[in-house]
Structure 1
Amino acid sequence: MLLVLPPSETKRDGGRDGSALDLAALSFPALTPLRRDALAALSRVSRTVSGASQALGLGPTQRFEIERNRLLRSSPVMPAIERYTGVLYDGLDVDSLSAAAREFAHDHVAVHSALFGVVGAGDLIPAYRLSHDSRLPGMPLKKHWRSAVSAELAAHDGLVLDLRSEAYAALGPAPDGAHYIRVVTESASGRRVALSHFNKKAKGEFARAIVAAGVEHPDASSLLDWAETAGIRLEPGAPGELDLIVG
């Protein structure tokens, strides 16, 4: 089983003392050459404030992000699941997970990054700034990542749950047989409407419930049965989707 999460724009500073990025140690090693190329392109565009600001869509108060990118190779690293912050990761609340749940997350959760492609939750990465809609000169991110990330996800032997935003899913669509988690609310008449504001929080809490339970589901039927016992409204939706019903 693999849960694929989106990254976040905001990230924690710092990391393990004396550590630095080691591309060879990251999961999904087939992506290493593409990661190396993306790092080089980001390094080049970050040489000037004007170039980086334009490519990354940064304002004057975000210039610290450029310095982060300049120090990518030497800045300290921490597990990806701890690096990202924001609403989804608040819902996941990794700091309060038990040691067993954190180990389960490291084995069964991945994060899809615009810079590193898909990485394992326990992979050690630095703080950086690169988004799905960033414009690296000569390197359209969708073209760069799409087929390679899709191939890595397709190679996973087991249930794949896609919790990414549609923008990140476009950088590497999940394979046939995967299940996209769509957060919806249901009216009294039974009509379901996709949520936007509470979407990320619900996905984070859902991911937390799965890793805290520590059950490796072999298929969607197993997941649906578990969700019912856990008090989570998860039901089949459109083809290839599962509806997470909240509210």
Structure 2
Amino acid sequence: MFVLLPPSETKRSGGVFMPLALDSLAFPALTERRRVLAGALSALAADQDATVRALKLGRTQLAEIDRNAALMSSPTTPVIDRYTGVLYDALDAQTLTPAARAFAGRHLLVHSALLGPVGGLDLVPAYRLSHDSRLPGLGLKKHWAADVSAVLEAAPGLLLDLRSEGYVSLGPAAAHPDRWFLRVVTESSDGHIRALNHFNKKAKGVLTRALLHTGQDFDTVDGLLDWAPTAGLTLRPGVAGELQLVVDGHL
């Protein structure tokens, strides 16, 4: 089983490990794609105005340019410790047990706009690049989609896709009985179903943390659905290829 998360635009600075080693990351078939994009992003940082336009940066975000300039030389930290924001605050990686972190290393993936899908404990630097960034002469969808879809298709077992629509566009998971997209919804007393925006991130973090702590490598979606109530979660099939995580709209 793999759980596939979106990244976050916000990231912790610093790190304690050696600089980025592209050939050490999960899915080595993506190494050359990663190398091309990392080179383009770090080179772009030499032009502040162009970087601001490409990354849609505000006046208070110019430090992100320095991060990108040092992309290949700055220290790294595990993926689950690098990202911050609502989803990752709920995941709260720093308080995971050693067993849960080890499980994350084997079963958790995060889809980076810069590096494609990476493992939960892969070592990455701080950087700034989003799914909708517009690098001169390099479209992210064209750069990533075919190769990312290929590695996701080849990944063995169940894949629970928690990505946002923007990151799905950088590598859709092909329709397959073991590929499930998660949609966070709330249900009113009259049975009306509504998708959530802000609260969906927290719900995904809570679900991911519960999966890491349970440490079960589910073979089938039925096993996942049977487990959910034991973790206090309401998880059910939605339309074809989708699961619904039902939460309180005021989570």
Residue 189 of structure 1, CA deviation: 1.5
Give me the whole-angstrom Cα distance separating, in 1, the residues matched to 2:229 and 2:198.
24
The one-letter code matched in structure 1 to 2:130 is S
Residue 41 of structure 1, CA deviation: 1.1
The equivalent of 2:5 in structure 1 is 5
Residue 44 of structure 1, CA deviation: 2.1
The equivalent of 1:139 in structure 2 is 138
Give me the whole-angstrom Cα distance separating, in 2, the residues matched to 1:23 and 1:195.
35
The equivalent of 1:192 in structure 2 is 193
The equivalent of 2:107 in structure 1 is 108
The equivalent of 1:126 in structure 2 is 125
Q: How many residues align?
A: 246
The one-letter code matched in structure 2 to 1:66 is I
The equivalent of 1:209 in structure 2 is 210
Structure 1 window deviating more from structure 2 (37-46 vs 132-141): it is 37-46
Residue 43 of structure 1, CA deviation: 1.6
Residue 163 of structure 2 corresponds to residue 164 of structure 1? yes
The equivalent of 1:82 in structure 2 is 81
Give me the whole-angstrom Cα distance separating, in 2, the residues matched to 1:154 and 1:193.
30
Indicate the SS of the match to 1:198: helix
Give me the whole-angstrom Cα distance separating, in 1, the residues matched to 2:231 and 2:130.
34
What percentage of residue pairs aligned between the two structures are identical? 57
Residue 183 of structure 2 corresponds to residue 182 of structure 1? yes
Give me the whole-angstrom Cα distance separating, in 2, the residues matched to 1:47 and 1:9.
21
The equivalent of 1:228 in structure 2 is 229
Give me the whole-angstrom Cα distance separating, in 2, the residues matched to 1:224 and 1:59.
43
Residue 198 of structure 1, CA deviation: 0.2
Give me the whole-angstrom Cα distance separating, in 1, the residues matched to 2:231 and 2:11.
31
Indicate the SS of the match to 1:24: helix
Give me the whole-angstrom Cα distance separating, in 2, the residues matched to 1:230 and 1:113.
28
Residue 93 of structure 2 corresponds to residue 97 of structure 1? no
Residue 229 of structure 1, CA deviation: 2.1
Indicate the SS of the match to 1:235: strand
Give me the whole-angstrom Cα distance separating, in 2, the residues matched to 1:216 and 1:135.
38
Structure 1 window deviating more from structure 2 (42-51 vs 96-105): it is 42-51
Give me the whole-angstrom Cα distance separating, in 1, the residues matched to 2:33 and 2:232.
41
The equivalent of 2:150 in structure 1 is 151
Deviation digits for residues 199-230 of structure 1 (CA, Å, limit 9, x no counterpart): 10000000000001101100100000000222
Residue 125 of structure 1, CA deviation: 0.4
Residue 175 of structure 1, CA deviation: 2.3
Please, what is the CA RMSD of the aligned residues?
Answer: 0.8
The one-letter code matched in structure 2 to 1:201 is K
What are the within-5 Å matches in structure 2 for residues 4-43 of structure 1? 4-16=4-16, 19-43=18-42
Deviation digits for residues 77-114 of structure 1 (CA, Å, limit 9, x no counterpart): 00111100000001101111000001001110000011
The equivalent of 1:237 in structure 2 is 238
The equivalent of 1:70 in structure 2 is 69
Give me the whole-angstrom Cα distance separating, in 1, the residues matched to 2:169 and 2:48.
29
Residue 176 of structure 1, CA deviation: 1.7
Give me the whole-angstrom Cα distance separating, in 2, the residues matched to 1:239 and 1:190.
20
After TM superposition, where is structure 1 displaced by more than 4 Å over at least 4 residues in a row? none
TM-score by length of 2: 0.97
Q: Structure 2: which 5+ residue stretches go unaligned?
A: none
Give me the whole-angstrom Cα distance separating, in 1, the residues matched to 2:218 and 2:174.
18
The equivalent of 2:56 in structure 1 is 57
Deviation digits for residues 121-174 of structure 1 (CA, Å, limit 9, x no counterpart): 111000000000101111100010001111111001100000000010110001
Indicate the SS of the match to 1:131: coil
Structure 1 window deviating more from structure 2 (228-237 vs 79-88): it is 228-237
